[in-house]
Amino acid sequence: GTLGRGNHFVELQSDHDDRLWLMIHSGSRAMGQTITGHHLARSRPSATGLGFLEAATDEGAAYLSDQDWALQYAMQNRLVMARAVESILQTLFAASFDWSTLIHSHHNHVRRERHAAEQLWVHRKGALPASENEAGVIPGSMGTRSYHVEGRGVAAALRSSSHGAGRSRDRRHARQTISRCELRQQMQGVWFDQRQSDDLRDEAPAAYKDIGRVMRAQRKLTRITRELRPVLVYKGV
């Protein structure tokens, strides 16, 4: 149950009916990168300069098995953290989760899908699967709105959408241009550990694109089912 650094977070959010929601963003904790490096070293070069593995070979099957393992690891890792947060809320406030509302949403995976009457391997890197009525989560930034969504199944987009706001400034630029004071101003109304202000400048809301514009740009790909505002944000540094 480890969170990680960078844009990974544990966040308590409120909806329009003042219900409290938990959102966790964390992945396979470097295992995915290790798996990628291991299998890239065994890949074959192509005319594009990118390495590849044939899915029907032993090497391809090994990669797909390891990738599925990493996805399961990431899911279980998030569940451990969710149970830890639930335990804290039960102890302090006698509150518990409604686990029937759980949404799992991967945005880096390879999976077999049918598109335009063909069976294809679809690799989503920083993209959300958005088949018709498929539930998903699209975060903004640590100080802005996030969304629960359902996919619209748009074939031209390979039934996919953006998985978040995306950065408008890279980490180095953000640290050079955003001060601790500006971070605190941007985070007004949201609880976070202000002792970490200097380390969190590259995660300031101003370092990210306007999530409202992003959602409007992809309104044909997803429908919004719930809008959430941040109440408390925890990030590892």
Q: Residues 196-229: pLDDT tens digits?
A: 999 999 999 999 999 999 999 999 999 999 999 9
Active-site residue set: 163
**DSSP secondary-structure letter at 168?**
S
pTM for this predicted structure: 0.94
Mean pLDDT of the chain: 96
State the pLDDT at residue 1.
85
pLDDT band at 236 (very low <50, low <70, confident <90, very high): confident
Percent residues over pLDDT 70 in the chain: 100
State the pLDDT at residue 220.
98
Q: For residues 33-39, give the mean pLDDT.
A: 95
Residue 174 to residue 200: CA distance in whole angstroms: 10
Residue 81 to residue 45: CA distance in whole angstroms: 40
To 5 degrees, how large is the angle CA 194–CA 196–CA 202?
110
